[in-house]
Structure 1
Amino acid sequence: MHSERFRALLDSVRYEVLPAKATLDKVLAHVPRDVVVTVTASPVKGLEPTLDLATRLSAHGYSVVPHVPARLLRDDAHLADVVHRLREAGVDDVFVPAGDADPPAGPYEGALPLLRHLAELGSPFARVGITGYPERHPLIDDDITIQAMWDKHAHATYIVSNLCFDSRVLGEWVTRVRRRDVTLPVHVGVAGPVERTKLLAMAAKIGVGESTRFLARHASWFVRFAAPGGYAPERLLRRSAPVLTAPSAAVAGLHLFTFNQIAETERWRRGMLERLDGC
């Protein structure tokens, strides 16, 4: 599995968490300070829980990456306030997706106008992430999503790929991105060791409306999680290793979707590292 390079990817891991009531305690109890923590944002709950958790985690010494979805920003004053609060908290890395709010809360329909406005504000964040879609986006054609990456890459410093369960699809996507001369480093999105019942419970906690949209867009995820032997992160990573470890792919690390199964995800990662050490 190209163990040396693969270990580097596991050491450069990022954990995506949802800003639920118990998230802070779970992170403090189980996540080392050298692991980057990204905090999602929901159209139902708005940006406030994301900003609050990001601020608290930063105060505890974590490198934090809050999601700032374009469609959740009410206006330019709201953006200025978000930037000020995050910079005051020591946050210098943000992830900027379009978001799913429908209709948008303000003037930003997608990520690109927001990225351009951040540049006009003097690029207040040292690192800015944008989204990549290895598997088909439920609402947008594949060629459009890759073209959008090209349009946004001048304003970003890295790409985070959405979940992918097929090593072949993942490899083809990375190749297509590089063929478009998009050279930004990629953090490959991988679901952690998720239990279906806990995933369903977490989806429900997001909020009734958002949960419905989440399930509608990603029904195939639940089928894969539910099927006996249907999904195991180590199996996907083993099959994807040639792509993930190839220098030409410029994969910077793994972005693990924890679905707030934070202790289980860290335990799984430690187990993987121990097995690699034994190779």
Structure 2
Amino acid sequence: MGGEGFRALLSGVRYEVLPAKATEDKVLAHVPRDVVVTVTASPVKGLEPTLDLVGRLAAHGYRVVPHMPARLLRDDAHLKDVVERLREAGVDDVFVPAGDADPPAGAYDGALPVLRRLSELGGPFARVGITGYPESHPLIHDDLTIQAMWDKRAHATYIVSNLCFDPRVLGDWVGRIRRRDVTLPVHVGVAGPVQRAKLLTMATKIGVGESTRFLTKHASWFLRFATPGGYSPDRLLDRSAEALTAPSAGVAGLHVFTFNQVAETERWRCAVLERLGG
């Protein structure tokens, strides 16, 4: 790994965290204020833990991006209340996925209606992120996920790609969306230097129902993390270098899934930056 391109990707990093009891202390202890922190939302626990943590981290001076899954919003009044709370906390950037709540909490079963409603409300946030799927979505054809990005482009300002472990797939996907004239900047989703034992502990803390769903959906992740030499963020980035740093790729930075291994993730980033600086 080397070059100015990767320095820029690592300098413009985003850390995704889960709203657990110890998350605030971990972020305060290990994450510099210039690193963007994104906070996930739980289909079981709802938006409240996310909104609470976002407010506290914003008060500490972080630029915080809440996940606002469409399927967790009960109705228009709930959406307006969430928007108002986030604006009062100084939040100007939100990430709007469809979410995994099944059944949905209310009328919104996908991200596009929520994105349209935000536009109708005057665009209360300067930045709005949507999801991209480099690896096939389990329920949606690849062409439809790219079409969905096209449909959402008028309401969004950037894309966050879901986790991908295959550098070829990642590079091909970036090329495909650009050929389809999806021009929004992409924050590439990568897993940090995750330890399998801690990942299993984190999955357990998410909640029994969610853990089962998480493990079922992402069994291949655990195989990659468990196999000696099976996953390394350095290796993935090395092999993706040409695709991710090409000007035509429009990659704005890395979105690192920390699985709340915040200290380990920041140590890894600093070590890579130091090597690149050398």
TM (norm. structure 1) is 0.99
CA distance in structure 2 between the aligned counterparts of 1:180 and 1:11, rounded to whole angstroms: 28
Letter in 2 for 1:124: P
Cα offset, 1:143, TM superposition: 1.1
Equivalent in the alignment of 1:160: 160
Runs of 4+ in 1 over 6 A off after TM superposition: none
Q: Is the 8 A contact 2:2 2:276 kept in 1?
A: no
Instruction: Verify the 8 A CA contact 1:2 1:245 in the aligned structure 2.
Output: no
Task: Output the amino acid matched with 1:89.
Answer: A
Alignment deviations for residues 44-79 of structure 1 (CA, whole Å, 9 cap, x no partner):
110000000000000000000000000000111110
Cα deviation, 1:156-179, whole Å, max 9, x if unaligned, reads: 000000000000000000001001
Q: How far 1:211 moved relative to its partner? A: 1.1
Say if 2:246 is the partner of 1:214.
no
Tell me the equivalent position of 1:4: 4
How far apart in 1 are the matches of 2:270 and 2:54? 24
Q: Partner of 1:170 in structure 2?
A: 170
Query: Which position in structure 1 is the counterpart of 2:101?
Result: 101
Identity, % of aligned pairs? 83
Check whether the contact 1:131–1:162 (CA below 8 A) recurs between aligned residues.
yes
Residue equivalent to 2:69:
69
Equivalent residue number for residue 266 of structure 2: 266
Task: Report the counterpart of residue 79 of structure 1 in structure 2.
Answer: 79
Determine the C-alpha separation between the residues in 1 that align with 2:37 and 2:50: 12
**Which amino acid letter does the alignment assign opposite residue 139 of structure 2?**
L
* Cα contact 2:131–2:161 (8 A) shared by 1: yes
Looking at structure 1, the residues matched to 124 and 141 of structure 2 have their Cα atoms a distance apart, in angstroms, of 32
RMSD after superposition:
0.6
Instruction: Give distance in 2, aligned partners of 1:143 and 1:205.
Output: 35
Which stretch of structure 1 is more off in the superposition, 202-211 or 256-265?
202-211
Deviation at residue 204 of structure 1 after TM alignment: 1.1
For 1:20-59, list aligned pairs within 5 A.
Answer: 20-59=20-59
Distance 1:275 1:194 in 2: 20
Letter in 2 for 1:86: L
Q: CA deviation at 1:139?
A: 1.6
Give the superposition deviation at 1:130.
Answer: 0.1
Kept after mapping to 1: 8 A contact 2:194/2:261: yes
1:181 is aligned to 2:181: yes
Distance 2:202 2:94 in 1: 23
Query: What secondary structure does 1:91 align onto?
Result: coil
Is there any run of 5+ residues in structure 1 with no aligned partner, and where? none
Q: SS of the counterpart of 2:7?
A: helix
Quote the offset at 1:141 in angstroms.
1.2
Deviations 1:72-115 (A, max 9, x none): 00111110110000000000000000000000000001000000
Alpha carbons 2:14, 2:256 under 8 Å: kept: yes
Alignment partner of 1:142 is 2:142: yes
Task: Spell out, residue by residue over 1:181-218, the C-alpha distance to the aligned partner (whole angstroms, 9 max, x if none).
Answer: 00000000000000001101101111111111111111
Specify the SS of the correspondent of 1:194: coil
Cα displacement (A) at 1:2: 4.7
In structure 2, runs of 5+ residues without a counterpart are: none
Q: CA deviation at 1:24?
A: 0.3
CA contact 1:159–1:186 (8 Å) conserved in 2: yes
Moved more, 2-11 or 77-86: 2-11
2-structure distance, mates of 1:141, 1:212: 24
Cα distance between partner residues in 1 of 2:144 and 2:3: 35
- Name the TM-score, length of structure 2 as normaliser: 0.99
- 2:225 is aligned to 225
Q: Is the 8 A contact 2:159 2:187 kept in 1?
A: yes
How many residue pairs end up in the alignment?
278
